[in-house]
């Protein structure tokens, strides 16, 4: 029969005729060596109770209220049990914690988000992690139990004790993993998680355990101890490893000290405490799995209600008029109207739309504000009386990307390009607005939206101890590439990007350029429908950049499309069918590069550089140059006097040049004048014949001492710089 537990303060009633009352179990106990109870105990040998009788009609037998009270050396027993529970329990607490820290690393280097955006759903990621960690933990725990067995610890020598311990550890493992993983969501950096999390969770389990043991040892507070044991077992998984060792050990000690049982069976270990712990473990699994899901959603910027109302409608965005930007141009306004039309009545507007197809990406009234805290890094950097400051990173961005299109987002540092991409990839929650990818909302239907997405982030999200090839294999497999295609595809990217020789290197040993190439290949492999490329060519050599451009140009046809941010105007000019320039979070202009050049460029740019006076001087015949130091000295003295003359000469040459340009292009405006260099912008209509322009410039080159000149169409860079100037102007106004 089961051993009565100390906490239960088990009492058994015997009839004076020696027959046991109805509620008496078949027990096997010796008389207690010392007891607070005055009652007589029954003794037994071989597991049969020796039922004592007394003169009382009802003999109250208090078997043992606590082992502490049964031994001549109580401290020895308690310290032994307590310390073994402490150390073994601590190990069992630390195993899941150290495994869970890995997830912080995944979040810190954005690998988790990268996997999610590239099609691996959060639940699949968490389930895979949970299975792997639980498997690992079980192996480690099995090894530990083996060690316990090998060390021949008396209380765990018996198979029933080991089995009970094993079963409880087996049940605790998933609960421990889930709980530690949940706590790991408080950390964003692996270092802090590694140093703080084990301490927190050790104490979270240890403090309740000490409390229970303390009350338990007192003997008089056993009911309170049992009650607390119930509570902690049911709410705190980290308490269970300590309690497991303690209560399993105690069964043995109780048996040995009281000499109550010759051999312990499984039934002896089925004490109330053990059963509560087993139930607690089973209860913790769904509870902590739910907490983990909530933590994950909240950490990725989601909302609690998204977890429950999957079919909820998207948050209402502002009206079209409310979203109008302060400085936006006609094209941006037109694009906004198109987005609002497409979202309010998709079928009708699809027919009306010039492209005739539904855009693959629809961004509607996207806005992102960062709070004061995130700007300051702490909440104490601003005075109390100051109103809360907000940084608006993206202002009511509405944009549609059609199939077959590569849309470029340009802007100076801090313009809001990366924030836009981060919202689109679910890394940051929008303050307002909606994003739809391939018809799926990224807030409501995120998993479906991300199945169509490939993302090359600005900062490489790579595991340092995984090889280049393994990264590519993983992402290709996530996108459903199998068999021979897998190797062929990987080889194409490795060869094209010239990283074949690094294929089997861990990424921690790769150069920045190689890692960048790998990030790009990871976004493209498996041909996702929509690819977001955040400055993909940064750090690449020209040859690899060429491959990148070629693959982009070849890839986005038919139903596929891409969004690209870059600081290279050359790249935007070469790859993008449309370009939008963002300034301070606001989309200022949108259109094809030629359209923007026509609209914002000055038509042509004339850049002229005059010869230096010294160069003219050095071109004078050799016989007229000074031959001796005496002559040089005389010349130096004479140049002092002729300095004003030279300055006069420069002014005259410059004036002559300006007159020439005004004569050639009357409507030209001088943009820059520095030393001998003049830059003019020439309106398109001022040029009637390019041939005539060039012939007159060639003539002037000789007559006006022009060293070199260039006459070119306005570049995208010049358009971009124009917007940068606007930015400076608005900053100074603000
Ligand atoms: N987590 C954050 N907390 C506070 N402000 C932020 C945060 N992330 C971005 N910002 C601010 O939002 C603005 C836009 O940043 P973003 O990274 O989107 O610019 P960007 O156009 O991508 O610049 P770059 O070309 O340098 O990558 C910046 O002023 C930045 O300081």
Cα 144 from Cα 154, distance rounded (Å): 16
Alpha-helical runs (H) found in 665-711: 690-703
> Which of 593, 547, 556, 560 minimizes the C-alpha distance to 408?
593
The tokens for 279 are 């139930």
> Could you say which DSSP state residue 537 is in?
T
Residue 385 buriedness (CB in 10 A; 0-12 / 13-18 / 19+): exposed
* Binding site membership of 536 for ligand 1 (Cβ less than 6 Å): no
Ligand 1 pocket test, candidate residues 392, 414, 430, most atoms within 8 A of CB: 414
pLDDT of residue 37: 35
* Binding site membership of 418 for ligand 1 (Cβ less than 6 Å): yes
- Can you give the pTM of this predicted structure? 0.70
* Binding site membership of 393 for ligand 1 (Cβ less than 6 Å): yes
pLDDT at 371 over 80: no
pLDDT at 60 over 60: no
Matching residue, tokens 């200022």 = 588
For residues 294 and 151, membership in a common domain is answered with yes
Ligand 1 pocket test, candidate residues 409, 419, 580, 586, most atoms within 8 A of CB: 419
For residues 27 and 41, membership in a common domain is answered with yes
Cα 726 from Cα 309, distance rounded (Å): 44
* Binding site membership of 389 for ligand 1 (Cβ less than 6 Å): no
* Binding site membership of 417 for ligand 1 (Cβ less than 6 Å): yes
- Report which protein residue has its CA nearest ligand 1's atom 6: 370
Helix axes 159-184, 190-218, angle to 10 degrees: 130
For residues 143 and 244, membership in a common domain is answered with yes
* Ligand 1 centroid – CA 332 distance (Å): 22
CATH code for the domain in which residue 701 is found: 3.30.70
Matching residue, tokens 């692996």 = 190
* Binding site membership of 514 for ligand 1 (Cβ less than 6 Å): no
Cα 275 from Cα 279, distance rounded (Å): 6
- Report which protein residue has its CA nearest ligand 1's atom 30: 414
Which range in 21-30, 150-159, 495-504, 539-548 is most confidently predicted, on average pLDDT? 495-504
Mean pLDDT of 229-255: 87
Least confident residue range of 59-68, 135-144, 327-336, 659-668: 59-68
For residues 179 and 90, membership in a common domain is answered with yes
Instruction: Answer for the pair 52, 67: CB distance below 8 angstroms, yes or no.
Output: no
pLDDT at 363 over 80: yes
For residues 567 and 613, membership in a common domain is answered with no
Which range in 103-107, 153-157, 684-688 is most confidently predicted, on average pLDDT? 103-107
For residues 527 and 657, membership in a common domain is answered with no
For residues 578 and 606, membership in a common domain is answered with no
pLDDT of residue 15: 36
Which residue would you say has higher pLDDT here, 96 or 258?
96
Residue 101, C-beta contacts closer than 8 angstroms, at least 6 positions apart: 184, 190, 193, 194, 197
Q: Which helix (H) or strand (E) holds 43?
A: strand 43-45
ipTM confidence: 0.95
Q: CA 686, 690, 696, 702 torsion: positive or negative?
A: positive
Q: Could you tell me if residue 434 is inside a domain?
A: yes
Instruction: Answer for the pair 259, 1: CB distance below 8 angstroms, yes or no.
Output: no
CA distances from 387 to 113, 282, 370, 666 (A): 34, 49, 14, 53
Read off the pLDDT of residues 695-719 as tens digits, 9 standing for 90 and up. Answer: 888 988 888 888 889 888 777 777 7
* Binding site membership of 419 for ligand 1 (Cβ less than 6 Å): yes
- Report which protein residue has its CA nearest ligand 1's atom 22: 418
* Binding site membership of 428 for ligand 1 (Cβ less than 6 Å): no
Beta bridge partners, 366, equal 397
Residue 666 buriedness (CB in 10 A; 0-12 / 13-18 / 19+): exposed
* Binding site membership of 391 for ligand 1 (Cβ less than 6 Å): yes
**pLDDT bracket for residue 614 (50, 70, 90):** low
Q: Could you tell me if residue 624 is inside a domain?
A: no
pLDDT at 74 over 70: no
* Binding site membership of 60 for ligand 1 (Cβ less than 6 Å): no
Alpha-helical runs (H) found in 300-323: 304-308
pLDDT of residue 388: 59
Matching residue, tokens 């410059």 = 654
pLDDT at 260 over 50: yes
Q: Could you tell me if residue 734 is inside a domain?
A: no
**pLDDT bracket for residue 408 (50, 70, 90):** very high
Cα 731 from Cα 339, distance rounded (Å): 29
Q: Could you tell me if residue 338 is inside a domain?
A: yes
Which residue would you say has higher pLDDT here, 327 or 411?
411
Q: For the chain, what is the radius of gyration of the CA atoms?
A: 40
Which range in 2-16, 293-307, 428-442 is most confidently predicted, on average pLDDT? 428-442
- Report which protein residue has its CA nearest ligand 1's atom 11: 393
Q: Which of 598, 629, 657 is the last residue of a domain?
A: 598
Backbone angles phi, psi at 398, to 5 degrees: -125, 125
- Total number of residues shown for the chain: 734
- Report which protein residue has its CA nearest ligand 1's atom 19: 414
* Ligand 1 centroid – CA 189 distance (Å): 20
For residues 566 and 445, membership in a common domain is answered with yes
Which residue would you say has higher pLDDT here, 528 or 252?
528
pLDDT of residue 34: 35
Ligand 1 pocket test, candidate residues 368, 372, 416, 585, most atoms within 8 A of CB: 416
For residues 594 and 606, membership in a common domain is answered with no
Ligand 1 atom nearest the C-alpha of 412 is: 25
Mean pLDDT of 70-86: 57
**pLDDT bracket for residue 375 (50, 70, 90):** low
pLDDT at 532 over 90: yes
Q: Could you tell me if residue 322 is inside a domain?
A: no
CA distances from 386 to 383, 391, 728 (A): 5, 15, 26
For residues 706 and 656, membership in a common domain is answered with yes
Cα 71 from Cα 84, distance rounded (Å): 19
Instruction: Answer for the pair 175, 281: CB distance below 8 angstroms, yes or no.
Output: yes
Buried b (16+ CB within 10 A) or exposed e, 168-181: bbbbbbbbbbbbbb
> Which of 246, 258, 265, 270 minimizes the C-alpha distance to 65?
258
Cα 702 from Cα 609, distance rounded (Å): 13
The percentage of the chain sitting over the pLDDT mark of 70, rounded to a whole number, equals 73
Cα 98 from Cα 615, distance rounded (Å): 72
Read off the pLDDT of residues 193-209 as tens digits, 9 standing for 90 and up. Answer: 988 989 998 888 889 99
Q: Could you tell me if residue 632 is inside a domain?
A: no
**pLDDT bracket for residue 310 (50, 70, 90):** low
Concatenating the DSSP letter of every residue in 503-519 gives TTSBGGGS-HHHHHHHH
Matching residue, tokens 């979202």 = 343
pLDDT at 471 over 90: yes
State the pairing for strand pair 11-15/43-45.
unpaired
Ligand 1 atom nearest the C-alpha of 375 is: 4
Mean pLDDT of 443-463: 87
* Binding site membership of 411 for ligand 1 (Cβ less than 6 Å): yes
For residues 425 and 523, membership in a common domain is answered with yes
> Could you say which DSSP state residue 169 is in?
H
- Report which protein residue has its CA nearest ligand 1's atom 29: 414
Least confident residue range of 110-119, 261-270, 553-562: 261-270
Mean pLDDT of 504-529: 90
CA distances from 37 to 15, 65, 81, 249 (A): 18, 9, 24, 24
CATH code for the domain in which residue 536 is found: 3.40.50.300
Ligand 1 atom nearest the C-alpha of 582 is: 21
For residues 120 and 139, membership in a common domain is answered with yes
Mean pLDDT of 320-325: 66
pLDDT of residue 446: 80
Q: Could you tell me if residue 554 is inside a domain?
A: yes
Average pLDDT, the chain: 76
State the pairing for strand pair 677-682/604-610.
antiparallel
Matching residue, tokens 């401290």 = 75
CA distances from 649 to 293, 342, 456, 620, 636 (A): 78, 65, 57, 16, 18
Beta bridge partners, 43, equal 50
Mean pLDDT of 214-242: 83
Q: Could you tell me if residue 324 is inside a domain?
A: no
The tokens for 391 are 């940084």
The tokens for 415 are 């313009």
Cα 64 from Cα 6, distance rounded (Å): 6
Cα 427 from Cα 114, distance rounded (Å): 9
pLDDT at 119 over 90: no
- Report which protein residue has its CA nearest ligand 1's atom 8: 419
> Which of 275, 96, 95 minimizes the C-alpha distance to 179?
96
Q: Which helix (H) or strand (E) holds 372?
A: helix 372-376
The tokens for 198 are 């084990």
Instruction: Answer for the pair 630, 702: CB distance below 8 angstroms, yes or no.
Output: no
Question: What is the span of the domain harbouring residue 233?
Answer: 79-305
Cα 239 from Cα 74, distance rounded (Å): 24
pLDDT of residue 718: 75
* Binding site membership of 377 for ligand 1 (Cβ less than 6 Å): no
Sheet holding 578-583, edge to edge: 453-456, 530-534, 561-565, 406-411, 578-583, 586-591
The percentage of the chain sitting over the pLDDT mark of 90, rounded to a whole number, equals 12
Which residue would you say has higher pLDDT here, 77 or 253?
253
Read off the pLDDT of residues 81-114 as tens digits, 9 standing for 90 and up. Answer: 677 777 878 888 888 888 888 888 888 888 888 8
Number of domains making up the chain: 4
């Amino acid at each position: 029969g089961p051993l009565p537990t100390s906490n239960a303060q088990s009492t058994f009633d015997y009839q004076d005729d020696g027959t046991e009352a109805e509620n008496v179990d078949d027990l096997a106990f010796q008389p207690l060596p010392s007891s607070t109870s005055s009652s007589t105990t029954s003794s037994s040998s071989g597991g049969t109770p020796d039922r004592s009788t007394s003169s009382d009609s009802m003999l109250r037998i208090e078997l043992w209220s606590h082992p502490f009270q049964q031994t001549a050396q109580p401290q020895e027993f308690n310290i032994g049990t307590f310390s073994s529970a402490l150390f073994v329990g601590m190990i069992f607490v630390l195993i899941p914690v150290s495994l869970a820290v890995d997830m912080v690393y995944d979040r810190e280097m954005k690998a988790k988000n990268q996997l999610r955006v590239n099609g691996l759903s959060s639940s699949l990621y968490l389930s895979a992690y949970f299975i792997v960690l639980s498997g690992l933990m079980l192996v480690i725990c099995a090894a530990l139990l083996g060690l316990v067995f090998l060390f021949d610890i008396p209380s765990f020598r018996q198979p029933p004790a080991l089995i009970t311990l094993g079963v409880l550890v087996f049940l605790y493992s998933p609960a421990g993993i889930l709980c530690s993983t949940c706590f790991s969501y408080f950390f964003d950096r692996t270092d802090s998680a590694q140093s703080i999390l084990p301490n927190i969770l050790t104490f979270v389990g240890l403090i309740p355990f000490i409390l229970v043991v303390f009350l338990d040892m007192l003997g008089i507070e056993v009911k309170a101890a049992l009650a607390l044991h119930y509570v902690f077992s049911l709410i705190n998984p980290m308490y269970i490893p300590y309690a497991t060792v303690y209560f399993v050990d105690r069964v043995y000690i109780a048996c040995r000290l009281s000499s109550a049982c010759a051999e312990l069976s499984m039934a002896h270990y089925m004490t109330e405490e053990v059963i509560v712990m087993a139930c607690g473990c089973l209860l913790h699994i769904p509870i902590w799995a739910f907490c983990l899901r909530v933590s994950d959603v909240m950490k990725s910027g989601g909302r609690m209600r998204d977890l429950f109302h999957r079919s909820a409608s998207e948050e209402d965005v502002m009206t079209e008029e409310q979203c109008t930007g302060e400085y936006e141009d006609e094209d941006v306004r037109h694009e906004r109207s198109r987005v609002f039309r497409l979202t309010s009545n998709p079928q009708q507007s699809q027919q009306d739309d010039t492209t005739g197809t539904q855009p693959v990406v629809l961004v509607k009234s996207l806005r992102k504000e960062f709070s004061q805290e995130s700007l300051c890094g702490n909440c104490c950097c601003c005075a109390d009386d100051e109103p809360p400051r907000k940084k608006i990173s993206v202002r009511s961005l509405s944009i549609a990307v059609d199939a077959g299109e590569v849309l470029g987002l340009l802007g100076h540092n801090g313009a809001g390009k990366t924030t836009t991409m981060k919202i689109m990839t679910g890394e940051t929650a929008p303050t307002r607005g909606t994003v739809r990818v391939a018809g799926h909302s990224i807030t409501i239907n995120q998993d479906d939206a991300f199945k169509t997405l490939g993302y090359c982030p600005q900062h490489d999200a790579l595991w340092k101890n995984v090889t280049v090839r393994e990264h590519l294999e993983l992402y290709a497999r996530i996108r459903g590439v199998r068999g021979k295609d897998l190797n062929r595809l990987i080889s194409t990217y490795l060869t094209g990007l010239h990283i074949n020789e690094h294929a089997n290197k861990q990424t921690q040993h790769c150069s920045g350029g190689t890692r960048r190439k790998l990030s790009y290949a990871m976004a493209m492999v498996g041909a996702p429908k929509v690819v977001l490329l955040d400055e993909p060519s940064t750090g690449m050599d020209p040859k690899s950049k060429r491959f990148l451009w070629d693959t982009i140009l070849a890839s986005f046809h038919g139903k596929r499309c891409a969004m690209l941010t870059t600081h290279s105007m050359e790249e935007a000019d070469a790859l993008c069918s449309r370009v939008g320039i963002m300034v301070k979070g606001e989309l200022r202009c949108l259109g094809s590069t030629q359209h923007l050049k026509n609209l914002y460029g000055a038509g042509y740019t004339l850049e002229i550089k005059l010869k230096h006076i010294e160069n003219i001087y050095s071109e004078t015949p050799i016989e007229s140059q000074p031959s001796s130091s005496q002559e040089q000295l005389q010349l130096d003295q004479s140049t002092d006097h002729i300095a004003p003359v030279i300055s006069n000469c420069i002014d005259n040459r410059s004036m002559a040049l300006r007159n020439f340009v005004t004569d050639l292009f009357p409507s030209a405006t001088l943009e820059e004048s520095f030393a001998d260099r003049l830059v003019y912008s020439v309106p398109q209509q001022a040029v009637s014949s390019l041939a005539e322009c060039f012939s007159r410039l060639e003539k002037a080159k000789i007559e006006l001492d022009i060293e070199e000149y260039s006459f070119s169409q306005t570049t995208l860079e010049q358009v971009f710089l124009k917007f940068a100037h606007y930015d400076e102007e608005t900053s100074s106004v603000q």
